Structure 1
Amino acid sequence: MASIARTSAKVFYYARNVARDIVPQALFRRRLAVRLEKARICDEAACRRLNYYNKLQDGFAPSANAVRISKLPFTPTMYYYDLKEFARYFDPGLLVDIEFGDVRNVPKVPSIVKDRPIRDDDKNAVIMKLDKFRHFQMPADAIPFADKLPGVVWRGDLNNPIRKRFLQAVRDLPFCDVGSHKPNAPAEYAKPFLTIGQHQRYRYIVSLEGNDVATNLKWILSSKSLCLMPPPTYETWFAERHLEANVHYVPLAADFSDVAEHVAYFERHPAEADRIIAAANAYCRTFANEQTEQAISLLVLYKYFVLSGQIKPDAEVWRYITG
């Protein structure tokens, strides 16, 4: 159930992107050099981020399944628009391997993805900020931790065994308002839908991975509630691998037997909760500068096209990327 503000934002999102597709694309390509020049004066933190999202170092050739920029698949639509927002600055004949949707494994060839499993050999998964309208909503939270309800809340689809295991472990705890609002949820787990604002009334919000990353993680960490979750196993543009247990979130045991213990501890030590919440909020601010976000996105693609041998690098831009 979307709010009026959320619905309006979605309408604006589509209107803006449709307009970009209607405008002659050559206008964007003429601006590539200027956009790259602005991007390369970003700070070292931005450079580290672009090389984290795109870990490729050696040259490679696009696969036989690669598509031209001019022929990017239109569905899922938000993936198309989010990639096209930056791909349109490059020659429409350039080839790119892509995997839209939830990515459960590292691609066999260097490919643009929304997410990747957290593991060491992940360089073929080149992360772009895709499906960002859904994954990067971070609405304001005006309720201090101390003024929230002293309980635990979770809602979601039961599309991962970890979620059922969580519900089974905490269903009898009186301070837990947890369950699934989906029509196909078993009766014993069925709960009414809650908006983000309704979640934010609680001191403790649980984040659980589904098909890949947990969609609610970003807005929980940007709120004034405390995030409880198992360590992440997938990551997106949010770089979930960099989140630290007991720094940005409270880690939960695999069997969720420690939920009551954690709640009891932070009820006795609210200052500790505030410390973790402040660190989580600071982490979220990493993604708040839209100019920096756009610069990094453009450079991630630029690095991909250079290493795939499809464009010749500008010396200054490439020096910025490679250090």
Structure 2
Amino acid sequence: MNRVCHSDKEFWFSPEERVDFYLNNQASFNISLKRYEEVKNSTSWNQREMKLVSYADYENTFTHWYCRHIVHLPRVRSIRVLPLFKSYKDLHSLMNFFLPFDRIGKEHSSVKYPFFYGEAGDTDEIPCIRKSRRADDQTSVIFNFRSLRLTTPCEAATKHDIPWEQKKNNVIWRGATTGQEQRVQFVKQYFNRYDVGFATTKQKPHLDHLRKEKVSIKDQLQYKFIVSLEGNDVASNLRWVLSSNSVPIMTKPYWQSWIMEDRLEPNVHYLELNKDLSNLNELLHWARNNDEACKKIALNGKKYMSQFLDLDNDLPVQKMVLDEYAKRLTYNN
């Protein structure tokens, strides 16, 4: 593991290792345009989510201006369908895509990058660029898409956090009913024992009896331990929990995104739930008897996340990913 090992950067990875990770360790990307169109048109979902995108196509357009100056504004970024564009998540992704070109340089700005805007979805081994991939996906490429949803909450965590010693020695989880049955199983198992419940059940209204009041990031940070559970893909709270003085409790990550979840180490960056979620009581019992060790785990998480939150460090890596992808990409008919 090629880490940058000095001071508070002991969990930082070198730019080269990060680029290899995001590019799925692929030396080349060969895309048949005929096959691409077949896969794109195979489902209505792929028709919406797959697109060939170049910076040059958008440069100096209204969409480019809108992404640079409007999308990130607090009163705009939470709107689910933004004006003059089909979907907020597409604009959020384009905002991230434009940034390295706008800040660093226009090399490869005319390259058509194959995007997949959605979360879960099969592109049949076409090496699309997306915000997350499954652990067994050996094709897809990861880019820092949707940072407004996934990374911006880290600012709130930093602003509202309190010292470890002032936190409640207990656990909390709130989330939606998205994803597979893991979240449902967890809430059913611990709803009556801990501060665990669904904040919304709109996807599965029959689970409304397992709903509890919403809890802000600020109030969740009153707890030493915050559960992080994957939904449709990555756990949306993991980044801000890692960037806080609290400890994530989670299963071994199955999904990978820009923060390289599978490089997180149990008992170093988080406490690991069993796959069947049965050991939360045991984890909390151990934690209450090992307070200093848990405080160190929280600190390690902050060190780990800092490499992705430091724009001076992270933005050049984003540009390197786009540049290296472009260099390794060939299209054929």
- TM-score scaled to structure 2, two decimals? 0.73
1:166 correspondence with 2:183: no
> Equivalent residue of 2:225, what SS?
strand
Q: Which residue of structure 2 aligns with residue 6 of structure 1?
A: none
- Alpha-carbon deviations, 1:72-95, whole Å to 9, x = none? 795421012211323562455422
C-alpha change, 1:105 and 1:309, in structure 2 (3 Å) is closer
Report the CA distance between 1:255 and its aligned residue.
2.5
Q: Which residue of structure 1 aligns with residue 6 of structure 2?
A: none
Q: Which residue of structure 2 aligns with residue 146 of structure 1?
A: 165
Is contact 2:201–2:208 with CA below 8 Å preserved after alignment? no
Q: Which residue of structure 1 aligns with residue 223 of structure 2?
A: 202
C-alpha change, 1:214 and 1:44, in structure 2 (3 Å) is closer
Q: Distance in 2 between matches of 1:154 and 1:288?
A: 24
Is contact 1:227–1:249 with CA below 8 Å preserved after alignment? yes
Q: Which residue of structure 1 aligns with residue 199 of structure 2?
A: 181
Q: 5+ residue gaps in structure 1?
A: 1-42, 311-323
What aligned pairs does 1:48-59 form with structure 2 within 5 A after superposition? 48-54=17-23, 55-59=25-29
Is contact 1:167–1:178 with CA below 8 Å preserved after alignment? yes
Is contact 2:251–2:275 with CA below 8 Å preserved after alignment? yes
> Equivalent residue of 2:306, what SS?
helix
C-alpha change, 1:192 and 1:59, in structure 2 (3 Å) is closer
% identity of equivalent residues? 24
> Equivalent residue of 2:177, what SS?
coil
Report the CA distance between 1:282 and its aligned residue.
1.1
- Alpha-carbon deviations, 1:262-300, whole Å to 9, x = none? 112111220111121121111111213212211111111
Which stretch shows the higher mean deviation, 95-104 or 155-164? 95-104
Q: 5+ residue gaps in structure 2?
A: 1-11, 38-50, 64-84
- TM-score scaled to structure 1, two decimals? 0.75
Q: Which residue of structure 1 aligns with residue 282 of structure 2?
A: 261
Q: Distance in 1 between matches of 2:261 and 2:197?
A: 24
Which stretch shows the higher mean deviation, 254-263 or 205-214? 254-263
Q: Which residue of structure 2 aligns with residue 134 of structure 1?
A: 149
Report the CA distance between 1:56 and its aligned residue.
2.1
> Equivalent residue of 1:209, what SS?
coil
- Alpha-carbon deviations, 1:27-46, whole Å to 9, x = none? xxxxxxxxxxxxxxxx9811
Q: Distance in 2 between matches of 1:68 and 1:155?
A: 36
> Equivalent residue of 2:236, what SS?
coil
Is contact 2:307–2:314 with CA below 8 Å preserved after alignment? no
> Equivalent residue of 2:30, what SS?
coil
Is contact 1:62–1:308 with CA below 8 Å preserved after alignment? no
Report the CA distance between 1:48 and its aligned residue.
1.4
- Alpha-carbon deviations, 1:242-275, whole Å to 9, x = none? 0111111000112322111111211122011112
Q: Distance in 2 between matches of 1:257 and 1:61?
A: 44
Report the CA distance between 1:96 and its aligned residue.
1.7
Which stretch shows the higher mean deviation, 58-67 or 45-54? 58-67
Is contact 1:105–1:116 with CA below 8 Å preserved after alignment? no
1:80 correspondence with 2:65: no
- Alpha-carbon deviations, 1:151-186, whole Å to 9, x = none? 21111111131000001111221xx11111215353
Q: Which residue of structure 2 aligns with residue 60 of structure 1?
A: 30
Aligned equivalent of 2:135, options 118, 121, 139: 118
Is contact 1:104–1:116 with CA below 8 Å preserved after alignment? no
Aligned equivalent of 1:243, options 264, 289, 293: 264
Is contact 1:167–1:189 with CA below 8 Å preserved after alignment? yes
Amino acid in the other structure paired with 2:199: H
> Equivalent residue of 1:155, what SS?
strand
C-alpha change, 1:105 and 1:253, in structure 2 (3 Å) is farther
Q: Which residue of structure 2 aligns with residue 222 of structure 1?
A: 243
- Alpha-carbon deviations, 1:53-104, whole Å to 9, x = none? 1122025246344624145795421012211323562455422211012135
Is contact 1:118–1:235 with CA below 8 Å preserved after alignment? yes
Amino acid in the other structure paired with 2:148: F
Q: How many pairs are equivalent?
A: 264
Amino acid in the other structure paired with 2:99: E
Q: Distance in 2 between matches of 1:151 and 1:241?
A: 26
CA RMSD of aligned residues (A): 2.3
Q: Distance in 2 between matches of 1:92 and 1:246?
A: 42
Report the CA distance between 1:307 and its aligned residue.
1.1
Q: Distance in 1 between matches of 2:29 and 2:258?
A: 23
C-alpha change, 1:114 and 1:107, in structure 2 (3 Å) is farther
Is contact 1:103–1:113 with CA below 8 Å preserved after alignment? no
Q: Distance in 2 between matches of 1:302 and 1:275?
A: 37
Q: Distance in 1 between matches of 2:124 and 2:94?
A: 19
Q: Which has the higher strand share?
A: 2
